[in-house]
Amino acid sequence: MLTTLPDYRRAVALDEPFRPLSAPAPAGELDALTSLALRMLGDDPWVGPFHLPGSAHERRRLLRAVLTVREAAPFDPELVAVLDAVLGGERQQSADVRDLPGPVSVWRGDITRLKADAIVNAANDAMLGCFQPLHACVDNAIHHAAGPRLRADCRRIMDLQGTPEPTGTAKITRGYHLPASFVLHTVGPIVRGGLLPAHGSALADSYRACLDLAAEVPGIRTIAFCGISTGIFGFPTRPAARVAHGMVRDWLAANPGRFDRVVFVAFGAEDEAVHRELL
């Protein structure tokens, strides 16, 4: 049986504000706290000991990699406080969706730096994030910026569900250290070989599921979509964008006034050009 929002809302404390255990660290303290977090994680049975690299940049990459491979097991509160200080200190915001034209806009950049009520994550069917260190996928980027509580929430949801997440559905969690308050997780279709009509239908289902789910949360008025199923999932950019724009237009027409902004986030110049052409 699929898990709906009422089934897991309390389990992930969706309606409670996120309160980190530490204030964001000043820039001058980030490297020392990163090294401290790595030393604490070196005793973690999920990770094991490792050698601290010599430069601050390499230490930060190692921390990201370690958190990527670690399972959704509980953290010691002291370690959580250190991670909160690091992730809070590194949190960056480069745009606010409310400054973009509405009701539908295109924005080029890193979705983890965009302030919206909710952003959309292109997840896999395990729904726990990407476990490949430093992998350049949006799933990895979102989990990294949000921090390990995001994976823990996804684990709670999947434990309640008991089955992999079907294609074309969605779940929601808080955004934690992201500028976005919430993350909508959806599994889009994987295209291997030729593009079929079923791929387009499944992709439309993912967009619809995210909009329907976001509409159940009164505080969500703005949503930013990544390119669901594009990239490593193999869905070509232009037909994927046509599906996305068509579904969003139809949903907004059927639900006038529900959202103030829906933003398509393009990572590269080619993607941005396709979205602007369709817009």
Q: Kindly report, residue by residue over 153-163, the tens digit of the pLDDT.
A: 999 999 999 99
pLDDT tens-digit map of 221-263: 999 999 999 988 889 999 999 999 999 999 999 999 999 999 9
pLDDT, tens digit (0-9, with 9 covering 90-100), for 52-84: 888 999 999 999 999 999 999 889 999 999 999
pTM reported for the whole predicted model: 0.95
Exposed/middle/buried for 231, CB within 10 Å: 0-12, 13-18, 19+? Answer: middle
Cα Rg of the chain, angstroms: 19
Domains in the chain: ranges and CATH: 5-16+93-278 (3.40.220.10), 27-90 (no CATH)
Where is pLDDT greater, at 204 or 267?
A: 204
Least confident residue range of 1-5, 33-37, 199-203: 1-5
